[in-house]
Amino acid sequence: MDYVSAIVPPLVMAVGFTLLVRTIIKHQGGANRSREDAAVDAILARAEADRQTEAAVPGAAATGGGTASA
């Protein structure tokens, strides 16, 4: 009966992982999809703007962007 106790934990994890993946795939999209997409687009746009600002002003990254810490 040792083989049963050895195989149960991996089987439980496999079933749990399968259910988790199925739930994630099933709930993609939906009513909040456009709002979530807009939030991601805003974050990406801000990151791109920050990256372009650092490229345009070489000293901005070295000084910490003007934030005082102390």
At residue 44, the pLDDT reads 95
pLDDT reported for residue 29: 76
Per-residue model confidence as pLDDT tens digits over 10-67: 999 999 999 999 998 888 877 778 888 899 999 999 999 999 988 887 665 555 555 5
Of the pLDDT bands very low, low, confident and very high (cuts 50, 70, 90), residue 70 is: very low
CA distance 36 to 42: 10
Give pTM, 2 decimals.
Answer: 0.43
List the domain boundaries for the chain. Answer: 2-52
Judge whether 42 and 48 are in contact, CB under 8 Å: no
What was the pLDDT predicted at 64? 55
